[in-house]
Structure formats: C-alpha cells, structure tokens
C-alpha cells in the first residue's frame, strides 16, 4: 500500500509474447495511452492495474520497462459477460449512437458489477493514504463509487475514451442510475468533448436529482464532482520523427511501387468495427470509379482493417460483409494487377503504420461516431512536408479540432463522394494550407499536454481529501 498514483484500466499496457527461448514474456502494446501515462507513472511511483488478456490464473505483479504492473485475472465467464457482453454488446453500441442495436441482459450486468468490484478492491488495496487513482473507460464506470466507499481518503479521476450519449439514448439502459452513480464516485469525470460532459451533467440532474451548475454536480454529502472535456491526443513529435526516418521513407516508396505507382493513394486504417464506417467509405470510393470520376490506373484505396473483438457476433458479420464488398468491387472494377481496393485484415508495427501514413495522399476517416480518432491525428503528425489531404467525419471527436479537413457526414454517400473527389483534385496550395493549420493544432496539443491538464485539474478539485499528484 505505498503507491501515490494508481492507474486502473481494463487492459494492462502489455501483451503476452513468446520470447526467443520459447518462454512467455511481455511486450508493451502499441497505443497512445501508454505513451501518455508512462511519464506520470514514473514521476509519481505509480502502479497500473489491468487485465493482460487471456485466462491465465496465477499471474503475479511484475515490473516491465520500468512500469509496475498488477494483472487482474478473468475467467471465461467474465470475458463473456463483462467484456464481450456488457462492455462490447451493451455499452459500446449504446454510447455510439446505436449504430448497432445494444443488447440488455441481466447476467451481463451482474458480471459487469462483479468485475468492477474486483478492480475497485485491488485499487483500494494498492493505493497509499490520500493517493490519486485514475480510472479509465467504459468498462469500469462503477469503479469510482465502489472505490470511494472502500477508501474515502482517495482522490479519484475518471476518463471516458468513447462518446457519452445524449439523455434520449442513455435512458434506454435498465441500469442507467447505477452507472451515473458509479461515475459520481469520482472527483473529476473527463470526456473527449464538452458536449459529452454536458450530456452527463444533464442526466445526473434529471435521473439522480442532484443540483448542478455548469460543469459541477453538488452531492448531498457536500462533495462536488466536476465534469469536463479533455480531448485526447498523440505523441506528435514521436510520430513525426518516425515518419522522417530513412527506413520509413524507404518503406513508403516501396509500398507505392508495390501498388504500381498510381497517381494518388487513398488510405483507411481502422479497427474492424461497425462504428468506423468502413463499408460506406469503400462503397463511395467504388462509385467514383464506376461513375468514371476516378480510374484504377490513377487511384487505389488501401484499407487496413485491424482484427478486433472477433468473438462478438456483430464483428464477425461485419467482417463477412466487408470481405464480400471488397471482392465484388475488385471483381467488377479492377484490372489485372490493378485492384480498386487493396484490403489488409491485419495489424502492423508502428513503423509500418508510419510508412502507410507517409505514402498516402488522402486519408479517409469516416466513423458514424468516434470519441476522438487517433488515426486522423497520427496521419497529420506524419505529414511533415504538409502534403496530404484528410477526409474526416463530422462525427469523430477529432473534427472539433481538425476543422481544415474535408469534413463529411458519413451517412451521406454522395456527400462523401464529392469530398473524396475534391480532396483528390485539390491543388497543392490548398492541400498545404489545410495541412499546415492542422499540424499546428496537433503538435501544440499532444498527449503529454492532455495528461498534464487532466492531472492538474484533478489535483485542483477542492472537495477531495486526497493529496494532489502533480503532473
Ligand atoms: C478509442 C476510441 C479514441 C491501430 N491498428 C494498429 C495500431 N493502431 C493504433 C492506432 C491508434 C489506435 O490504435 C486506434 O485509436 P483510434 O482513436 O483510432 O480508435 P479506437 O481503437 O476505437 O480508440 C477513440 C481512443 O480510444 C483514444 O481515446 O480516440 O475514439 O474509440 O493509435 O495507431 N497500432 C499499431 N498497429 C496496428 O495495426 N502499431
């Protein structure tokens, strides 16, 4: 019980890998959260609690790359009820505008409560007197309240990485009040966008009946809870450095050669998720070819779909739908050695991602709803020569900051076609002007600034008893 900072997230920031001698080891998982939180962890003697994936049972706390990690175990039933069920079958679609139909099952809820409780108990056990605990994301919304009951001395922050829905949608949830009360255990509840914080405060007023004023909720016991927006970002300098490297430059050239050196390359990189709008985006591109606006000799679409949640039924259906669509488009519109779409169902190392960003002329990010979308920001960070156009959905959190993108409504196929064509035909001056402005935004607001602003806001919350942790 000696940690002044405890990070609680569904996943640990490492994945299981086989080492050279065949024994199991760990590797830091790709992704921005580790980069963001690592410096705060190091500066504050922090510890990270999370699930390492899988169902191993006898895992002990360990150090990796200077980080103290505490693995939580999950049974097959936990994975089905808590993770695939309530987290990804109920909350994920409900919080993303009902892009898919959420399922409500009482057994899933019971499992969600039980797993949240285990995480809260572990955090209570590890936190020093007056420590700061930072809880992450939709899988753990009950942890703040459970933890406060166990340890009223703590300063508790919560950050939601995905959107927080409007009251009209959130109301559907049979356990709406419990989730709101769960979050109210925190001193500070952070969201990607101001609108999400407003949705939350309004729901608390309507459903729980607490007094609110602007971004503050007043609880009957005298405590206040603040709800505010902290738009997440990326390690912009790190991505730029990678993109500028000689090896990535060489690889970017190789990729374009392998594609037959077309005039322009469109790119999409997404987890294979129904919120990301992959299907409609590929249809829009294929119609531009079918209509004769684009020619497969001049333009190709590289779509990387990173495998995700493969045990969940809706994700399997999506994969089959996209496989069929790509097959049909290439069959109808491709020529020998010139498919319209170059489709990759795989994940890649960071260097390959940087090479893809560097070689692409147009990145299309067209989710129906997305908390932020880091892929859009990573692409911008990699375009150090200011060349590259971004087609971006209005419904991605990133659209609030990246105003100079070609903004689209992903439900409007004709609108997407026009934006993609405009981005394709735009002259260099126009592209440079837009990219320059977006690069300014991304480099000035990187992930370190995000973590700093959350931590300093949390340490300023007056109602908490916990000691402040400085970023
Ligand atoms: C959630 C919210 C919010 C992807 N494939 C590979 C790979 N990635 C990396 C990307 C990027 C991250 O994963 C994906 O982040 P996104 O923001 O695009 O999307 P979600 O996974 O849905 O993330 C989202 C985010 O949380 C953070 O708060 O922005 O709205 O939905 O960093 O680069 N990285 C590597 N290989 C891959 O194959 N190395």
ipTM of the complex model: 0.98
CB of 162 shorter than 6 A to ligand 1? yes
26 contacts 53 by C-beta, under 8 angstroms? no
- Measure the N-to-C terminal CA separation of the chain; round to a whole number of Å: 21
Residue range 325-353: average pLDDT?
96
User: Does position 469 have pLDDT exceeding 90, yes or no?
Assistant: no
**Mean pLDDT score of the chain:** 94
DSSP secondary structure string for all residues of 125-148: HHEEEEEEEEEESGGGTTHHHHHH
Residue 53 or 467, more confident: 53
Residue extents of the structural domains in the chain: 3-232+451-460, 236-444
pLDDT value for 26? 87
- Predicted model pTM: 0.95
**What average pLDDT does this structure show over 456-463?**
84
Residue nearest to atom 36 of ligand 1 (CA): 348
Supply the pLDDT for residue 58.
87
pLDDT, tens only, 116-150: 999 999 999 999 999 999 999 999 999 999 999 99
Top-confidence residue, 464 or 260: 260
pLDDT of residue 20: 83
Instruction: Give the DSSP H or E segment for 62.
Output: strand 62-64
pLDDT confidence tier of residue 463, bands split at 50, 70 and 90: low
Q: Is the CB of 348 under 6 A from ligand 1?
A: yes
Q: Whose CA is nearest to atom 33 of ligand 1?
A: 375
Q: Which atom of ligand 1 is nearest to the CA of 31?
A: 32
pLDDT digits (tens, 9 = 90+) for 254-269: 999 999 999 999 999 9
Q: Is 271 in the pocket of ligand 1 (CB under 6 A)?
A: yes
Per-residue pLDDT tens digits for 24-79:
888 887 666 777 787 788 778 899 999 998 898 988 999 988 889 999 999 999 99
Question: Which residue bears the tokens 């488009």?
Answer: 329
Interacting residues of 470 by C-beta distance below 8 A, sequence separation 6+: 43, 455, 456, 459
| Ligand 1 atom closest to Cα of residue 161 | 28
Ligand 1 centroid vs 374 CA: distance in angstroms? Answer: 6
Question: Which residues 6+ apart lie within 8 Å of 360 measured at CB?
Answer: 265, 266, 267, 302, 379, 388
Q: How far apart are CA 343 and CA 303, in angstroms?
A: 5
Q: Taking residues 282-296, what's their average pLDDT?
A: 98
- Judge if the beta carbon of residue 31 lies within 6 A of ligand 1: yes
* Residue 1 pLDDT: 58
CATH superfamily of the 236-444 domain: Glycogen Phosphorylase B; (3.40.50.2000)
Is residue 464 predicted with pLDDT exceeding 70? no
CA dihedral 125, 127, 133, 135 (to 10 degrees): -30
Task: Say if 3-232+451-460 and 236-444 have the same CATH topology.
Answer: yes
Average pLDDT over residues 216-244: 96
**Ligand 1 atom having least distance to the Cα of 398:** 29
Instruction: With beta carbons less than 8 A apart as the criterion, state whether 405 and 276 touch.
Output: no
Query: Which pLDDT score, from 0 to 100, does residue 31 have?
Result: 65
Strand partners, 265: 300
| 3-232+451-460: CATH topology | Rossmann fold (3.40.50)
What pLDDT, on a 0 to 100 scale, did the predictor assign at position 30?
67
3-class secondary-structure state, position 351:
helix
pLDDT in tens, 202-213: 999 999 999 999
Residue 405 has pLDDT above 90, yes or no: yes
Give the Å distance between the CA of 452 and the centre of ligand 1: 21
353 pocket-lining for ligand 1 (C-beta < 6 Å): yes
Q: Verify whether ligand 1 is closer than 6 Å to residue 378 (CB atom).
A: yes
Amino acid 41: pLDDT: 83
Question: Mean of the pLDDT values across residues 337-361?
Answer: 96
**Residue 8 · residue 121 · CB < 8 Å:** no
Q: pLDDT value at position 205?
A: 97
461 — pLDDT class (breaks 50, 70, 90): confident
Q: What is the pLDDT of residues 152-177, one digit of tens each?
A: 999 999 999 999 999 999 999 999 99
Per-residue pLDDT, 45: 82
């Amino acid at each position: 019980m000696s940690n002044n900072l405890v990070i609680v997230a569904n996943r640990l920031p490492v994945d299981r890998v086989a080492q050279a001698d065949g024994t199991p080891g760990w590797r830091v998982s790709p992704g921005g959260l580790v980069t963001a939180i690592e410096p705060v962890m190091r500066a504050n003697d922090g510890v990270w609690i999370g699930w390492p994936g899988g169902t191993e049972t006898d895992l002990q706390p360990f150090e990796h790359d200077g980080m103290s990690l505490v693995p939580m175990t999950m049974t097959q039933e936990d994975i089905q009820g808590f993770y695939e069920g309530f987290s990804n079958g109920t909350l994920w679609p409900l919080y993303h505008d009902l892009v898919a139909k959420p399922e409500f099952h009482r057994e899933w809820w019971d499992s969600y409560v039980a797993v949240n409780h285990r995480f809260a108990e572990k955090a209570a056990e590890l936190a020093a007197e007056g420590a700061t605990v930072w809880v992450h994301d939709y899988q753990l919304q009950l942890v703040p309240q459970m933890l406060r009951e166990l340890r009223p001395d703590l300063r508790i922050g919560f950050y939601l990485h995905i959107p927080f829905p409007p009251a009209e949608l959130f109301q559907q949830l049979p356990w709406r009040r419990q989730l709101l009360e769960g979050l109210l255990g925190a001193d500070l509840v952070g969201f990607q966008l101001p609108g999400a914080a407003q949705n939350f405060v309004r729901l608390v007023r309507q459903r729980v009946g607490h007094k609110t004023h602007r971004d503050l909720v007043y609880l009957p016991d005298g405590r206040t809870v603040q709800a505010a927006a902290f738009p997440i970002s990326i390690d912009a300098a790190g991505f730029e450095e990678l993109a500028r490297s000689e090896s990535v430059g060489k690889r970017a050239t190789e990729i374009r050669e392998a594609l037959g050196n077309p005039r322009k390359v469109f790119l999409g990189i997404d987890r294979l998720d129904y919120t990301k709008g992959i299907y409609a985006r590929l249809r829009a591109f294929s119609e531009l070819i079918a209509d004769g606006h684009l020619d497969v000799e001049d333009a190709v679409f590289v779509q990387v779909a990173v495998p995700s949640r493969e045990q969940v039924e809706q994700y399997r259906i999506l994969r089959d739908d996209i496989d069929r669509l790509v097959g049909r488009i290439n069959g109808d519109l491709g020529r020998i050695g010139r498919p319209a779409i170059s489709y990759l169902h795989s994940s890649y190392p960071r260097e390959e991602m940087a090479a893809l960003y560097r070689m692409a002329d147009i990145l299309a990010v067209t989710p129906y709803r997305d908390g932020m979308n880091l892929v859009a920001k990573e692409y911008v960070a990699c375009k150090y020569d200011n060349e590259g156009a971004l087609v971006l959905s209005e419904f991605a959190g990133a659209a609030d900051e990246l105003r100079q993108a070609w903004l689209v409504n992903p439900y409007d196929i004709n609108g997407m076609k026009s934006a993609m064509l405009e981005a394709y035909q735009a002259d260099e001056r126009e592209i440079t002007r837009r990219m320059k402005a977006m690069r300014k935004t991304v480099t000035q607001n990187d992930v370190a600034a995000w973590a700093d602003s959350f931590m300093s806001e949390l340490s300023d919350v007056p109602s908490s008893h916990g000691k402040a942790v400085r970023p």
